[in-house]
Amino acid sequence: MGSDVLPCYVACDVSLSMADHIDELNTGLREFRGAVHADASVADRVLCSVIGFGEEPLAVHGLYLAGEVAELPPPGPCAGTNFGPVFTYLRTRIDSDVHLLETHRVRVHRPMVFFLSDGQPTDPVTWPAAFAALTDPTWRNCPRVVTFGVGDADEGALGRIGTYRSYLSRDGVRLGTALIASVMHVLSTSGPPPGGTLS
């Protein structure tokens, strides 16, 4: 592991409506994994965690080197796509992970969240408060959020969530390309963090 790392969290909708898209997203994760692994300058600096969500979030795996990223599980039977619980989960998880990394004297770049979905949230009243807590600018670990919409994704909702960048697969953008471009841009424009998390 490098002396400075970028924690990335891939949060993917695995509700029933995603059944037609999981293969495409797994292909994107493989492309991302291969590109990071092939670049010696970043291979040991990008850590990646994969989280599935439907009605509730499910950790697929914790922070691994990006070259070891696991594939997404098949969609579950749940029809709900609740955004709020995964935002709440991410805030807790990021705090815990950053604390652990810093305990081991690893300098941590401001985390990045990749949020992937094809639908509209089924908790439209409650998710904005959970998202506001995740992206609270006074929180030292506030992540950059990149959204990637597949299928008939709600462009309006994803536009509100993508604080850093937003992509739509229907515009011809591939997931792997979006992931790689976002990570490389951060690493090329952010200097090594002096101690704590970058702002």
Q: How confident is the model at residue 100 (pLDDT cuts 50, 70, 90)?
A: very high
For residue 129, the model assigns a pLDDT of 97
Rounded CA separation 63/27 (Å): 20
Q: Among 16, 42, 199, 31, which Cα is nearest to 111's? A: 199
Give this prediction's pTM. 0.91
- Of 40 and 127, more confident: 127
Q: Which domains does the chain have, with CATH numbers?
A: 4-189 (3.40.50.410)
DSSP string, the chain: --SEEEEEEEEEE-SGGGTTTHHHHHHHHHHHHHHHHH-TTTTTTEEEEEEEESSSEEEEEEEEEGGGPPPPPPP-S-----HHHHHHHHHHHHHHHHHHHHHTT-EEPPPEEEEEESS--S-TTTHHHHHHHHT-TTSTTPPEEEEEE-TT--HHHHHHH-SSEEEEGGGT--HHHHHHHHHHHHHHHSPPPSSS---
Per-residue pLDDT tens for 152-182?
Answer: 888 888 889 999 999 999 888 889 999 999 9
